[in-house]
Amino acid sequence: MVSTKMDKSPADLLASPGLASLLKSLKLKTKQQELLIRVSILCLVYVLAFITRLFSVLRYESMIHEFDPYFNYRVTQYLTQKGFYEFWNWFDSESWYPLGRIIGGTLYPGLMVTAALIYWILRFLRFAVHIREVCVLTAPFFASNTTLVAYFFGKELWDSGAGLVAAALIAICPGYISRSVAGSYDNEGVAIFALLLTFYLFVKAVNTGSLAWALASAFGYFYMVSAWGGYVFIINLIPLYVLVLLITGRYSMRLYVAYNSMYVLGMLLAMQIRFVGFQHVQSGEHMAAMGVFFLMQVFYFLDWVKYLLNDPKKFHTFLRITVTSAVGLGVIALGVGTASGYISPWTGRFYSLLDPTYAKDHIPIIASVSEHQPTAWSSFMFDFHILLLLFPAGLYFCFKRLSDATIFIVMYGLTSMYFAGVMVRLILVATPAVCLISAIAVSATIKNLTQLVRAKGKPNPVGPGKGTSGTKASSKGSPDQSMPFQRNGAIALLLGVFYLLTRYAVHCTWVTSEAYSSPSIVLAARGAHGNRVIFDDYREAYFWLRQNTPPDAKVMSWWDYGYQITAMGNRTVIVDNNTWNNTHIATVGRAMSSYEDEAYEIMRSLDVDYVLVVFGGVTGYSSDDINKFLWMVRIGGGVFPVIKEPDYLVNGEYRVDKGAAPKMLNCLMYKLSYYRFGELTTEYGKPPGYDRARGVEIGNKDIKLEHLEEAFTTSNWIIRIYKVKPPNNRW
Partner 1 sequence: MAAIILSLLVLSLSLFTVISSSSLPGLQILQAERQIDLTSHIVRVYLTLKVENIEDDPASTVLLAFPPAQFDRLALVKAAVTVGKKRKKSYVPLEVNPTEQPSSPNGTKYYAISLLKPLLKGETTTLEILYILTHSLEPFPVEISQSDSQLVYYHDSAIILSPYHIKQQATLVKTPSNKVESFTQVEPTHRSGNELRYGPFEDEHPYSYFPIIIHFENNNPFAVVEELEREIEVSHWGSVQVTEHYKLAHAGAKHKGVFSRVEYQSRPAASGVSSFKHLLAELPPRVHSVYYRDDIGNISSSRLRTSSKKSELLIEPRYPLFGGWKATFVIGYGVPLQDFLFESAAGARYLNYSFGCPLADTVVDKLTIKVVLPEGSQNPSVEVPFAIEQSLETKYSYLDVIGRTVVVLEKKNVVPEHNVPFQVHYKFNPIFMLAEPLMLAAAFFLFFITCVAYLHIDLSLRK
Q: Which residues bind partner 1 (CB under 8 A)?
A: 2-3, 5-6, 9-10, 60-61, 63, 125-128, 521-522, 534, 536, 539-540, 542-544, 546-548, 568, 676, 679-680, 709-715, 717
**Cβ-based nearer residue to partner 1, 128 or 308:** 128
Q: How far is the CB of 703 from partner 1 (least distance, A)?
A: 12
**CB closer to partner 1 out of 210 and 283:** 210
Nearest distance from residue 145's CB to partner 1, in Å? 18
CB of 125 to partner 1, least distance (A): 8
Contacts of 672 (CB under 8 A, 6+ apart): 611, 613, 708, 720, 722
10/659 with CB nearer partner 1: 10
Task: State in angstroms the smallest separation of the CB of 74 from partner 1.
Answer: 11
State the minimum distance, in angstroms, from the CB of residue 166 to partner 1.
25
In Å, what is the CA distance from 2 to each residue of 6, 27, 158, 213? Answer: 6, 19, 21, 19
In the bound complex, what is the minimum distance in angstroms from residue 16's beta carbon to partner 1? 16
Long-range CB pairs of 456-465 (<8 Å, 24+ gap) are: 456/486, 456/487, 456/490, 457/487, 464/30
C-alpha to C-alpha distance for 318 and 325, rounded to whole angstroms: 11
Question: Smallest distance, Å, CB 264 to partner 1?
Answer: 25
Taking the least distance from each CB to partner 1, the nearer of 191 and 545 is 545
Of all helices (H) and strands (E), which one includes residue 253? helix 253-270
Closest CB 132 distance from partner 1, rounded Å:
9
Show Cβ contacts of residue 60 under 8 Å, excluding neighbours closer than 6 positions: 517, 518, 519, 522, 524
| Shortest separation between residue 676's beta carbon and partner 1, angstroms | 5
Closest CA to 442 of 165, 713, 638: 165
Q: 363 or 719, CB closer to partner 1?
A: 719
In the three-class reduction of DSSP (H, G, I as helix; E, B as strand; rest coil), residue 61 is classed as: coil
Say if residues 582 and 368 touch (Cβ distance below 8 Å). Answer: no
C-beta of 644 vs 676, nearer to partner 1: 676
- Which stretches of 110-186 are DSSP H helices? 110-124, 131-157, 160-172, 174-177
Residue nearer to partner 1 on the CB measure, 71 or 717: 717
Nearest alpha-carbon partner for 445 in 48, 170, 196, 158: 158
Residue 711 parent element (H or E): strand 708-713
Shortest CB 710 distance to partner 1, Å: 5
Q: Are 53 and 44 in contact (CB under 8 A)?
A: no
What DSSP character marks residue 67? S
Is 364 or 569 the residue whose CB approaches partner 1 more closely? 569
b vs e for 379-392, b when ≥16 Cβ sit within 10 Å of the residue's Cβ? bbebbbbbbeebbe
Q: Please, are residues 119 and 131 in contact by the beta-carbon 8 Å criterion? A: yes
**Rounded CA gap, 522 and 355, in Å?**
36
Reported as half-sphere exposure (CB side, CA atoms, 13 A), residue 321 has a value of 7
How many other C-beta atoms lie within 10 A of the C-beta of residue 416?
22
Provide the minimum distance between the beta carbon of 3 and partner 1 in the complex, in angstroms, as a whole number.
6
- 3-state per-residue secondary structure call for 286-338: HHHHHHHHHHHHHHHHHHHHHHHHCCHHHHHHHHHHHHHHHHHHHHHHHHHHH
Least distance CB 124 / partner 1 (angstroms): 11
Question: For residue 637, which phi and psi values (nearest 5 degrees)?
Answer: -70, -25
Given the complex with partner 1, which of 3 and 729 has the nearer CB atom? 3
- Output the smallest distance, CB 610 to partner 1, in A: 12
| Residue among 458 and 532 whose Cβ is closer to partner 1 | 532
- Cα 290 → chain centroid: 26
Looking at beta carbons only, is 128 or 462 nearer to partner 1? 128
Distance CA 702, CA 699 (A): 9
Report the residue number, 34 or 647, with the smaller CB distance to partner 1. 34
Name 331's Cβ contacts closer than 8 Å, sequence gap at least 6: none
For residue 345, say if its preceding peptide bond is cis, omega within 30 degrees of 0: no
Query: Cα separation of 59 and 524, whole Å?
Result: 10
Nearer to partner 1, 679 or 702 (CB): 679
Residue 689 falls in which region: left (phi positive, over 0), alpha (psi -120 to 50) or beta: left
What are the Cα distances from residue 279, in Å, to 243, 291, 467?
Answer: 22, 15, 49
Nearer of residues 176 and 563 to partner 1, judged by Cβ: 563
The single-letter code of the amino acid at 646 is P
- From the CB of 63, what's the least distance to partner 1, in Å? 5
70/193 with CB nearer partner 1: 70
| Distance in Å, CB of 94 to partner 1, minimum | 16
Closer Cβ to partner 1, 127 or 580, answer by number:
127
Q: Is 130 helix (H, G, I), strand (E, B) or coil?
A: coil
Beta carbon of residue 679, minimum distance to partner 1 (angstroms, whole number): 5
